[in-house]
Amino acid sequence: MINEKMEKAFNDQINKELYSEYLYLSMQAYFERLNLKGFVNWMQVQVQEEHAHALGMFDYLNQRGGTVILEAIDKPQSEWESPLAVFEHVLEHEEYVTSRINALMDVAEEVKDRAAMSFLNWYLKEQVEEEDNVGNVLATLKLIGDDKKALLMLDKELATRTFVAPVIG
């Protein structure tokens, strides 16, 4: 049976992962309005990844005999000034998620839940990858500036991203 404090921390993080999915879905809709299909694809992959992250924690909590409690998901932002502003927001959000995973690990350490620590190591590694991926797109957008042709070239590149279901844990 999982510790009560650990259970609450996992439930809070499940909500944050579902919010991430919701936020990226809102960003996907923004890129649909701009007719940037590669950016749409990039966000679709993010939506799928965040869903998988939430379900990974959902399943883990159930495996440990915990109770999953789903709370309301906050309404995400829906408008941005530019694709650059979107990816600045994505990086800020991923850094926030990293801080949340670290806080979850802190709880696992506090209650000496080694199984949770082992499980969460995957998420810590995933966050390094997430921040790196976003940082790469953000750096390219900064280089592009107002060059519409370069933006369309990046759009074509982002269209090649595919979702690979993660093996969590």
**C-alpha span between 53 and 128 (Å, rounded):** 14
Domains and CATH numbers, the chain: 4-158 (1.20.1260.10)
What distance lies between CA 8 and its chain's CA centroid?
20
Q: What is the pLDDT along the chain (169 residues), one digit of tens a residue?
A: 899 999 999 999 999 999 999 999 999 999 999 999 999 999 999 999 999 999 999 999 999 999 999 999 999 999 999 999 999 999 999 999 999 999 999 999 999 999 999 999 999 999 999 999 999 999 999 999 999 999 999 999 999 999 999 999 8
Q: State the greatest distance between any 2 C-alpha atoms of the chain, in Å, as a whole number.
A: 56
68: left (phi over 0), alpha (psi -120 to 50) or beta: beta
Instruction: With beta carbons less than 8 A apart as the criterion, state whether 48 and 56 touch.
Output: no
Among 90, 95, 69, 62, which residue's Cα sits nearest to residue 15? 69
pTM over 0.85: yes
